[in-house]
Amino acid sequence: MKGERTRQSILDRAVDLASVEGLEGLTIGRLADDLDMSKSGLFAHFGSKEELQLATIDAAAERFVSEVFRPALSAERGYPRLIAICRSWLSYIRRNVFPGGCFFAAASFEFDGRPGVVRDAIVQSMDEWMGAIEKAITMARDEGHLDPGVDAKQLAFEINSLFFGANFAFQLRGDKRALDRATRAIEERIESLRVPPRRRLAAAR
Amino acid sequence: MKGERTRQSILDRAVDLASVEGLEGLTIGRLADDLDMSKSGLFAHFGSKEELQLATIDAAAERFVSEVFRPALSAERGYPRLIAICRSWLSYIRRNVFPGGCFFAAASFEFDGRPGVVRDAIVQSMDEWMGAIEKAITMARDEGHLDPGVDAKQLAFEINSLFFGANFAFQLRGDKRALDRATRAIEERIESLRVPPRRRLAAAR
DNA sequence: TGACAAAACGAACGTTCGTGCTTATTTTTG
DNA sequence: CAAAAATAAGCACGAACGTTCGTTTTGTCA
């Protein structure tokens, strides 16, 4: 019981640290110092640095889901939810949910060149996220909110790219307007594929 | 004389290594081993790890300019050059000019959370590159090839975002189609802002 | 060719890395 | 409240880190 609480507080800190220093720059000694505990005591919770990294990715994913994805799910399916997801993501950067910017963008660029289970875990997280965007797009299409010919993978790619671009400019350059630029680009792009609501009530199906 | 040649070969290797392992993961011992030389001999060329990192960034910038930017400058100014820059960038990813993908994307995401001269050097490189894209856009606008109301900063932001998105999908996921997706998104976007050539000869001014 | 400078080397510095093993201290439970 | 189990600490390890040193090899040019 106690162990679980400690483990969680370790991971909370590990996520913050890794978002700044990277998953490889995340160091057991540094983490232990930050938490006023011994290296060995902390180490025992994970058994290896790799396990710590994997657990850190999981913890980051949980934070991401509860801060970004789940809130957007309360918007009604279709176009509103798609827009809600995009706005939620940009607000996640503005709110500095991770002190070093988007954890998964950083992790993706850090591990995109080296094989191993850590990279695999990052790939899986990103796949799930991209899949969620795609699903929101196809739902919007199936609801009749978007052009039926819309290419979901393509649009998801474009939206995700603009997320990364926003994170880059905001985090590296401190450019707050980048978030507005991304918002504008995304919403104009989605608008260009939109089928406007016919009447107030008569939606498709 | 000899020293300069050695230094260059060190930096060539350092750039490749850093594009995979990151600028912080770039290690003097590893680099020396790779080049069959001693740590101390290599170290003497730079005096500190930070200087090595800065020199590595410079070397990467040189490679980038000669592989990506300079070739595109042979296209005539305006719309053709803008398109040439975009195609050149995507080809740079396809050709694996850096073995770990775009050096500057990786460096940007690695250092976007920590202050210091290394980060400053990365910011400057990215500023120059983004400035070059913007300049190509304003030239295309001034030549009458693009809508006179085009927002150059906005469009440069969007193009750069799609570059990053392409690098991400290609490098982390091995998705070759991502380059096609980026090409399509960029060219359709630019096309949407294009003023078609009136006649074969009668360009603006 | 001989003298001097430049370049590379090998060994060692103190630190920090990840990782074991053993002991002490909590926390949970009968 | 004592016994059992879980958790944290202490200590030590080998390896790698960036860095410094004195020495040796290599290159350049009068």
pLDDT digits (tens, 9 = 90+) for B64-98: 999 999 999 999 999 999 999 999 999 999 999 99
3-state per-residue secondary structure call for B14-43: HHHHHHHHCCCCCCHHHHHHHCCCCHHHHH
CB contact, 8 Å: A158 with chain B?
yes
- pLDDT > 90: what percent of chain B? 93
Q: Output the pLDDT for position A118.
A: 96
| pLDDT at residue A200 is higher than 80 | no
Q: Output the pLDDT for position B4.
A: 86
Query: Rounded distance, CA A128 to CA A105, Å?
Result: 14
Give the dihedral sign, CA B38/B40/B44/B49: positive
Q: Output the pLDDT for position A196.
A: 80
| pLDDT at residue A203 is higher than 50 | no
Portion 27-86 of A in contact with B at CB < 8 A: none
Let me know: does A172 contact B112? Beta carbons within 8 Å: yes
Q: Output the pLDDT for position A3.
A: 64
DSSP 3-state helix, strand, coil percentages of chain A (rounded to 5)? 70, 0, 30
Amino acid, res. B85: I
> Quick check: B109 and A113 CB within 8 A?
no
Q: Output the pLDDT for position A140.
A: 97
Let me know: does A107 contact A61? Beta carbons within 8 Å: no
Query: Rounded distance, CA A57 to CA A80, Å?
Result: 29
Query: Rounded distance, CA A77 to CA B192, Å?
Result: 30
| A61-65, A130-134, A146-150, A194-198, range with the lowest pLDDT | A194-198
How confident is the prediction for chain B on average, in pLDDT?
Answer: 94
Q: Output the pLDDT for position B201.
A: 44
Q: Which residues of A are less than 8 Å from B185 in CB distance?
A: 154, 157-158, 161
Residue among A105, A157, A185 whose CB faces B169 most closely: A157
pLDDT digits (tens, 9 = 90+) for B41-56: 999 999 999 999 999 9
Q: Output the pLDDT for position A197.
A: 74
Let me know: does B182 contact B168? Beta carbons within 8 Å: no
pLDDT digits (tens, 9 = 90+) for B127-161: 999 999 999 999 999 999 999 999 999 999 999 99
How many interchain CB pairs under 8 A, A with B? 133
Nearest C-alpha in A relative to B23: A110
Q: What are A121's two structure tokens?
A: 């875990």
Amino acid, res. B5: R
Portion 11-30 of A in contact with B at CB < 8 A: 19-22, 24-25
Judge if the beta carbon of A1 is closer than 7 A to nucleic acid strand D.
yes
Q: Which residues of B are less than 8 Å from A153 in CB distance?
A: 181
Protein residue nearest nucleotide C21, by CA to C1'? A40
Q: How confident is the model at residue B197 (pLDDT cuts 50, 70, 90)?
A: confident
Query: Rounded distance, CA B81 to CA B140, Å?
Result: 8
Judge if the beta carbon of A2 is closer than 7 A to nucleic acid strand D.
yes
Query: Rounded distance, CA B90 to CA B80, Å?
Result: 16
Q: Once rounded to an integer, what is the mean pLDDT over residues B97-104? A: 97
Q: How confident is the model at residue B199 (pLDDT cuts 50, 70, 90)?
A: very low
Measured CA angle at A128 (ends A124, A132), to 5 deg: 170
Judge if the beta carbon of B48 is closer than 7 A to nucleic acid strand D.
yes
CB contact, 8 Å: B173 with chain A?
yes
Judge if the beta carbon of B25 is closer than 7 A to nucleic acid strand D.
no
Query: Rounded distance, CA B97 to CA B179, Å?
Result: 15
Greater pLDDT, A6 or B19: B19
Q: Output the pLDDT for position A4.
A: 81
**What's the start-to-end Cα distance of chain B, in Å?**
50
DSSP 3-state helix, strand, coil percentages of chain B (rounded to 5)? 70, 0, 30
Q: Which residues of A are less than 8 Å from B171 in CB distance?
A: 112-113
| pLDDT at residue B6 is higher than 80 | yes
> Quick check: B172 and A122 CB within 8 A?
yes
> Quick check: A24 and B25 CB within 8 A?
yes
**Phi, psi (degrees; rounded to nearest 5) at A38:** -85, 150
Let me know: does A115 contact A27? Beta carbons within 8 Å: no
Of the candidates B91, B107, B90, B95, the one whose C-alpha atom is nearest the C-alpha of residue B19 is: B107
| Protein-contacted bases of chain D (C-beta within 7 A) | 6-12, 16-22, 27-28
Judge if the beta carbon of A39 is closer than 7 A to nucleic acid strand D.
yes
Residue holding tokens 């299409």? A141
- The distance of A51 to chain B (nearest Cα, Å) reads 20
Helix A2-21, helix A103-111: angle, nearest 10? 70
Amino acid, res. A120: D
Query: Rounded distance, CA A107 to CA A163, Å?
Result: 15
**Phi, psi (degrees; rounded to nearest 5) at B194:** -85, 140
| pLDDT at residue B163 is higher than 80 | yes
Chain centre to alpha carbon of residue A85: 11
Count helices and strands (H / E) in chain A: 10, 0
> Quick check: A105 and B109 CB within 8 A?
yes
Judge if the beta carbon of A39 is closer than 7 A to nucleic acid strand C.
yes
| pLDDT at residue B34 is higher than 60 | yes
Residue B114: which H helix or E strand, with range? none
Q: Once rounded to an integer, what is the mean pLDDT over residues A71-82? A: 97
Q: How confident is the model at residue B204 (pLDDT cuts 50, 70, 90)?
A: very low
Judge if the beta carbon of A47 is closer than 7 A to nucleic acid strand D.
no
Q: What are B43's two structure tokens?
A: 């170290």
Residue among B25, B127, B172 whose CB faces A108 most closely: B172
Residues 72-131 of B with CB under 7 A from strand C: none
Nearest C-alpha in B relative to A178: B157
| pLDDT at residue A15 is higher than 60 | yes
CB contact, 8 Å: B111 with chain A?
yes
Q: What is the pTM assigned to this prediction?
A: 0.93
Judge if the beta carbon of B49 is closer than 7 A to nucleic acid strand D.
yes
